[in-house]
Amino acid sequence: MRAFKNDSFLRAIWRQPVVKTPVWMMRQAGRYLPEYRALRQKAGSFMQLCKTPELASEITLQPLARFPLDAAILFSDILTIPDAMGLGLSFKEGEGPIFAHPLRSEHDIARLRVPTPEVDLAYVLDAIRLTQKNLARQVPLIGFCGSPWTLATYMVEGCANKSFPRIQALRQGDPKLLHTLLDVLAKSVSAHLNAQIRAGVNAVMIFDTWGGMLNTADYQIFSLYYVKQVITHLLTQHEGSPIPVILFTKGGGQWLELMAATGCHVLGIDCQTDLNDARLRVGDKVALQGNLDPAILLESPERIRAAVAKTLSAFGKKPGHIFNLGHGVPQQVLPEHVAVLVDAVHELSEKQIPL
């Protein structure tokens, strides 16, 4: 395995002992950082940032220049795949993602093709190669995709719509057509993750942001089944290093055992789920990543430290914990508060007394 200056993230994934609990945060590069906002303004749009490897790489590294984080996550978006399939993605300030050509008919779904990542998503792969060069093996780099189900919700709705009327209607009215869509998405996601692995990411994460809206039976049929398809088709190693898979289902706390059986190596835990309970349920099958409530970052430094201590002791002094939030860093957070969190994780985990 090629060495990193700081490999605590990968050690924790393989449940090896670490001196300090590793920490990174979902949306660690984002609007809470003034340097991100400045670059976004200069670039003109979010998609311009994503599609310009120099800018995507610079943003990936912004939080690492400020905080001693133990992993980097590529700056990109899960919706680059539907964009590459021709749906025309843009982001309106304050409104989230919008597709110019959402899926509105059977014909729209039937004509979807699996993108060729090296051509249609070359900008993501270029950003990975450039970021790895700039990171110079300081810490590992995480690549990612959305789950087929989560991508399907955005592609069918056409915009962020938290009541999901169209995908619910499709699921009830024409499940066969939905399966056709999920199948082409599963193939697209595994192709894109494999291309990211070949371009040099050291771990991959699958974001199933909307799996939690399904009932248990439908979660297994429409979400988990396709996540399993994706994982089964992933390269398990690259240039002699194993490539771990992190699976995060927001609202998936009741299905941890099912998720742990997909072949993933880490489960992302949301803040609705008790970390100690999660660990007891999945045992040493997988490592756990999470799960501080992001809202704590809006509170005082003292309360942030106390909440970090609580999360660390909920997991206990055992190998296999990667500290993270239960969801992304909110936009209103002060960067100084993120510094408090990262330092607290390192300091308190080092001092923690074995339970």
Span near ligand CP3 by CB under 6 A; candidates 20-28, 194-202, 262-270, 288-296: 20-28
Residue of 32, 154, 219, 226 marked catalytic: 154
- Minimal distance, residue 205 CB to ligand CP3, in Å: 7
Q: Is 36 helix (H, G, I), strand (E, B) or coil?
A: helix
Shorter beta-carbon distance to ligand CP3: residue 73 or 103: 73
CB of 260 to ligand CP3, least distance (A): 20
> Rounded to the nearest whole angstrom, what is the least distance from the CB of residue 24 to ligand CP3 in the complex?
9
- The yes or no reply on residue 73 touching ligand CP3 (CB under 6 A) is yes
Known catalytic membership, residue 40: yes
| Cβ–Cβ under 8 Å, residues 220 and 147 | no
- Name the minimum Å distance from CB 325 to ligand CP3: 10
Shorter beta-carbon distance to ligand CP3: residue 46 or 225: 46
Residue 93, phi then psi, degrees to nearest 5: -45, 120
Residue 65 makes contact with ligand CP3 by CB under 6 A = no
Please say which residue, 96 or 165, places its beta carbon nearer to ligand CP3.
Answer: 96
Instruction: Tell me: does residue 24 bind ligand CP3 (CB under 6 A).
Output: no
Report the residue from 7, 77, 120, 270 that binds ligand CP3 according to the rule CB under 6 A: 77
Least distance (Å) from ligand CP3 to the CB of residue 200? 16
Residue 8, phi then psi, degrees to nearest 5: -65, -30
> Is 171 among the catalytic positions?
no
Query: Can you tell me the distance from the alpha carbon of 281 to that of 313, in angstroms, rounded to the nearest whole number?
Result: 17
Task: Please tell me whether residue 266 binds ligand CP3 under the rule CB under 6 A.
Answer: no
Among 55, 78, 167, 342, binds ligand CP3 (CB under 6 A): 78
Point out the catalytic residue in the list 70, 77, 83, 270. Answer: 77
342 C-beta neighbours (distance < 10 Å), count = 22
List Cα–Cα distances, 355 to 209, 280, 337, in angstroms: 33, 14, 28
Nearest to 353 by CA among 313, 314, 325: 313
Catalytic entry in 11, 40, 171, 305: 40
Q: Give the binding-site size for ligand CP3 (rule: CB under 6 A).
A: 23
Q: Known catalytic residue: 77?
A: yes
247, 253, 258, 263: CA torsion to nearest 10: 20
Decide: is 209 part of the binding site for ligand CP3 (CB under 6 A): yes
Catalytic residue flag (residue 129): no
Strands (E), 218-294: 237-238, 241-242, 245-249, 266-268, 287-292
Would you call 31 a catalytic residue per the annotation? yes
Please answer whether residues 178 and 170 qualify as being in contact, where contact means their C-beta atoms are separated by less than 8 angstroms.
yes
Q: Which stretch binds ligand CP3 (CB under 6 A): 76-84, 103-111, 193-201, 235-243?
A: 76-84
CA dist., res. 245 & res. 257, Å (int): 16
Rounded least distance, CB 280 to ligand CP3, Å:
26
Which of 144, 1, 9 minimizes the C-alpha distance to 64?
9
Does residue 334 bind ligand CP3 (CB under 6 A)?
Answer: no
- For residue 244 the two structure tokens come to 């771990």
For ligand CP3, which is the closer residue by CB, 38 or 160?
160
DSSP 110-179: HT-----HHHHTHHHHHHHHHHHHHHTTSS-EEEEEE-HHHHHHHHHHSB--TT-HHHHHHHHH-HHHHH
| Residues annotated as catalytic (active site), given as ranges | 27, 31, 40, 77, 154
Binding site for ligand CP3 (CB under 6 A): 26-31, 40, 46, 73, 75-79, 91, 96-97, 144, 160, 207, 209, 250, 328
